[in-house]
Chain A
């Protein structure tokens, strides 16, 4: 196909303010906005929107919009967190395998929870959560660290300085810990869905090695509180 050229996309049309020339660029003109896929956001009448949302909708009416990626869909079954997790589990671009593993994991979680549900006495039946999506989201939330450490070199010595983390970074760390935990610290012959479902259920109940890792990180950050002033950002 034609070689991508930044100039060919119409330099004159860009009211772009580059401060540093970026290395990663995209085939879209910078004026393109992200698509909004959820059906509910289009059914809200005008009065219910806040000021910002009204401005956003006016802007969207004028600007061009990027095409929706193949992983995004308006169906009830597509969840952005699950897609992110599937992409992180994927190896060498084998999305089919990663997606099948993910669905088997969710199935395994559902089976285990249903077993527990049927064995439990009457009064405890309501407390048992059977929805695998809710369990997944809650487990991820429980695994997210609040504060992270970063290496800062001062006077030759490298210190571990406690640093606040952004939302994206927290989510990424939680998912990464879960996946590495499942890949490395388990018996070789167990299947990934089994391992993952076990880890997710433990994380849901605030137990398990991933939660322990998170607590260790928090303790290290607490211990290195003295160096917090090294951070300049």
Chain B
């Protein structure tokens, strides 16, 4: 049961903070947490598992088993989560008994955002002062470059969660600009701790994909398979070693299947990039899509198959040439009230 705490009429008139007056008191949330823990132990006993080592995943599985639901929306199904995930974080009431706000920037409307900006600027001035001191003492300025490629700034949503306050796009971009200015200074290493609060590691992508080893068929010839898609076309390619550069598509030669030069160029692109034009044979099957989509699908499939024949460095080169990414562009849907995806109906004055 939710209960509004008693507020003075003055408070009720002002629209307090981001999302209205505090709906859940601290005592209420504490009670919810106790009930949740008790419920967790009961559930563990019911399922016959150890109450001490009952994780959230076990809870989800148990609830899905005990209360099966056929509803489409996952968030409409019964769930049992820790109260901090269910009840959104709320700011406490920011003024005292007499109505006087605690924070000195309360009347700006976005107190946490402006206090954050002030703090960051203070660090900036600090770094500048330090830099001037170093120059005055003729000491060398440190130039250790932060690894820009491996980290990113917090997104707007993450920053909003951190500050528990709504931000506008303009505010967010101003904050990021200030951070970038701070990082650009040579002596910014002093404030590294502060900066790390606002940056996140980007996981290095490349080690995700596992390259399959070569397979050998009856004659002892090495081959490898790959699958590719583009728009609605799906293709599978089998690339054989010790070949003459013959390419067979759906049982017919590629010259007959793709009369257009551009498609044939696309088929040969991976081979030409690696310099292995006359060395491999290819047999592929493709279905769906149009002429150009099928060519793109086969290109992706053959590039994936060639990864097994080639060194890791060359795989990296292929990835940077754009041969190993699935092209996500598809036909845009037609919207109601318009004639096509972008074209609007002819505007008539009357």
> Is B320 in contact with A70, judged by CB distance below 8 angstroms?
no
Q: Which of A72-80, A150-158, A175-183 contacts B (4 or more CB under 8 A)?
A: A72-80
B128: min CB distance to chain A, Å: 24
Given contacts A12-B158, A19-B173, A35-B321, contact A64 B205 (CB under 8 A): yes
Contact residues in A for B326 (Cβ distance below 8 Å):
67
Given contacts A75-B265, A75-B272, contact A68 B155 (CB under 8 A): no
Q: How many residues of A contact B (CB 8 A)?
A: 44
Residue of B155, B157, B316, B320 with most chain A CB atoms under a 10 A cut-off: B320
Please report which residues of chain B, range 220-246, place their CB below 8 angstroms from some CB of chain A when the two chains form the complex. Answer: 231-232
Q: Please, how many angstroms separate the alpha-carbon atoms of A35 and B323 in the complex?
A: 9
Q: Which of B47-55, B69-77, B93-101, B145-153 contacts A (4 or more CB under 8 A)?
A: B145-153
A59: min CB distance to chain B, Å: 5
Q: Please, how many angstroms separate the alpha-carbon atoms of A55 and B98 in the complex?
A: 57
Q: Please, how many angstroms separate the alpha-carbon atoms of A70 and B298 in the complex?
A: 12
Q: Please, how many angstroms separate the alpha-carbon atoms of A55 and B273 in the complex?
A: 24
Given contacts A36-B320, A61-B316, A64-B325, contact A71 B262 (CB under 8 A): yes
Shortest Cβ distance from B293 into A: residue:
A70
Q: Please, how many angstroms separate the alpha-carbon atoms of A11 and B169 in the complex?
A: 14
Total CB contacts across the A-B interface at under 8 A: 110
Q: CB-CB contacts of B152-181 with A at 8 A, as 1s and 0s?
A: 111101100000000001101100100000
Q: CB-CB contacts of B321-350 with A at 8 A, as 1s and 0s?
A: 111011111111100000000000000000
Is B296 in the interface zone, CB < 8 Å from A? yes
Is A46 in the interface zone, CB < 8 Å from B? no
Q: Which of B155, B169, B316 is in CB contact (< 8 Å) with A14?
A: B155
Q: Which of A1-9, A165-173, A194-202, A222-230 contacts B (4 or more CB under 8 A)?
A: A1-9
Is B120 in the interface zone, CB < 8 Å from A? no
Is B269 in the interface zone, CB < 8 Å from A? yes
> Is A75 in contact with B269, judged by CB distance below 8 angstroms?
yes
Please report which residues of chain A, range 35-68, place their CB below 8 angstroms from some CB of chain B when the two chains form the complex. Answer: 35-37, 39, 42, 55, 58-68
